[in-house]
Amino acid sequence: MTGFGAADGLVGSARVSVELRSVNHRFFNPSIKLPSQLARWEAEVREAVRQRVSRGHVTVSGRIEQAGGARSLIDEAAFAERAAVLSELQKRHSLGGAVDVATVLRMPDVIRTASPEDEQQGSADELVAIVAAATTALLAAREAEGEKLAGIVRDRLALLEATLNRIAVRAPERVVAHRDKLRENVTALLEGRVLDEQRLAQEVALIAERLDVGEEIDRFRAHLTAFRETLAAPGHAGVGKRLGFLLQELLREANTVGSKGNDASMQAEVVSLKEELERIREQVENLE
């Protein structure tokens, strides 16, 4: 599922902002992008997100800014090196006076701006707290999208049920049609001889048993009911995986109905069932 969440806070004396973006993916696939001074806590960040997000390609981006403005630091090694050079030049060229501190400090690279790496404060817990807040915002966005997707899926379930009802009506009709066709063919072959109605009834009963799809239709309806119940009351682990399993069962029943159909109109309806199931599958892959 797609979504976006952001939060910021302090890690030590540094202000850190975190953004989470997610796009559709069947499994949890994280991508963590943290500044070098926070990279040592990448595992904690990944686990914090994994505990609350089970599906989707999630990109976690961190940005750090020194709180209170940039500080200046004296590079003592550079200071000592440049002071030594100045002293050597004084001796070599017989210059009077002493090496002036202010002069050394004005030389290049003696004073530098403190980088975030100079700060050693902060903890993984502080960073994880910011990530948790961003994750909460992400989940809120995903939940809103999930409600829209669930509505689309419910509409398609209604189309499935309507198609199944047409199949249920046609199923006994086609048995009668087979009986009438069988009677017509046998009568033509007998060429005026008396038709054995009992034998015909036995053959029709065998055909009816072979073509019966009542159990498949009942199971299909039961799976539809379970599908709706899962959408209405998602558990702690989400609905995506369970709905995926129910879709497999629905497709299995549709295939069985198709194999028993032996009827053009029923076959067309089964094709419609499979098309709708595929459309639902595409949406379910986006649901957590």
| Token digits of residue 30 | 């994280």
Can you tell me the distance from the alpha carbon of 29 to that of 20, in angstroms, rounded to the nearest whole number? 13
> How is residue 150 annotated by DSSP?
H
Q: What confidence score (pLDDT) does residue 120 get?
A: 46
Q: Which residue has the tokens 């060429």?
A: 191
Inform me whether the pLDDT recorded for 286 exceeds 80.
no
Q: Which residue has the higher pLDDT, 241 or 218?
A: 218
Structure confidence by residue, pLDDT tens digits, 15-53? 899 999 998 777 889 999 999 889 999 999 999 999 988
| Cα–Cα–Cα angle for 130, 7, 237, rounded to 5 degrees | 70
Q: What confidence score (pLDDT) does residue 113 get?
A: 64
CB-CB contact of 246 with 216 (8 Å): no
Q: What is 203-252 written as a DSSP string?
A: HHHHHHHHH--HHHHHHHHHHHHHHHHHHHS-BTTBSHHHHHHHHHHHHH
Which of 60, 6, 52 minimizes the C-alpha distance to 33? 60
Structure confidence by residue, pLDDT tens digits, 116-173? 555 546 889 999 999 999 999 998 988 888 888 888 899 999 999 999 999 988 888 7
Per-residue pLDDT, averaged over 206-222, amounts to 83
The model scores a pTM over 0.95: no
Can you tell me the distance from the alpha carbon of 153 to that of 165, in angstroms, rounded to the nearest whole number? 18
Per-residue pLDDT, averaged over 239-267, amounts to 87
Can you tell me the distance from the alpha carbon of 53 to that of 56, in angstroms, rounded to the nearest whole number? 8
Structure confidence by residue, pLDDT tens digits, 180-190? 676 666 666 66
Can you tell me the distance from the alpha carbon of 148 to that of 9, in angstroms, rounded to the nearest whole number? 32
Find all residues with CB under 8 Å of 80, minimum gap 6, and list them: none
Q: Which residue has the higher pLDDT, 190 or 268?
A: 268
* Phi, psi at 202, each rounded to 5°: -65, -45
